[in-house]
Structure 1
């Protein structure tokens, strides 16, 4: 059986990076390795919905939350993080 390498996704930015505590903000997540992504999280809460636009871009809707929330993307190659969405 041939071996296929799947890279770990990386996150570069979230735009906008702030929004209301009531959630519902549409954000664009930029990075790499998003093809096949299975989850987007704001802190421990999953995005209300998300669409993988390309290997380098995801559009997600924020859930209800508070404070700074680390954004993570789960994909076939692992979990990426390192950027924050700030609820205000």
Structure 2
């Protein structure tokens, strides 16, 4: 089963600096390689638990979809992150 996202904290951040974002959901631990993307940009992250990831939002503009891809299980639902 693909990871499922329920919230981003915060769900917005500065366009020109890196923002730490906590991603809440399920299906993050012990599922194999993960990729966290803000729009099309993959970013660095830490898996805190099966229900939480801490990621770093790359620089960007506008509103982008945040997703978590699990190599063997597909891509999660998307949640919006807005650059301000």
TM-score (norm 1): 0.86
SS at match of 1:22: coil
- Superposition pairs for residues 1-88 of structure 1, below 5 Å? 7-35=1-29, 36-47=32-43, 49-75=44-70, 76-88=72-84
User: What is the CA–CA distance in structure 2 between the aligned matches of 1:22 and 1:8, rounded to whole Å?
Assistant: 31
User: What is the CA–CA distance in structure 1 between the aligned matches of 2:10 and 2:66, rounded to whole Å?
Assistant: 12
Larger deviation, residues 66-75 vs 76-85: 76-85
After superposing on structure 2, the runs of 4+ consecutive aligned residues of structure 1 that deviate more than 6 Å are none
The alignment of Structure 1 onto Structure 2 pairs a total of residues equal to: 81
The gaps in structure 2 that reach 5 residues or longer are none
TM-score (norm 2): 0.89
Contact 1:43/1:70 (<8 A) preserved: yes
User: What is the CA–CA distance in structure 1 between the aligned matches of 2:49 and 2:79, rounded to whole Å?
Assistant: 19
Who wins on radius of gyration, i.e. which is larger? 1
Measure how far apart 1:39 and its partner are: 0.6
The gaps in structure 1 that reach 5 residues or longer are 1-6
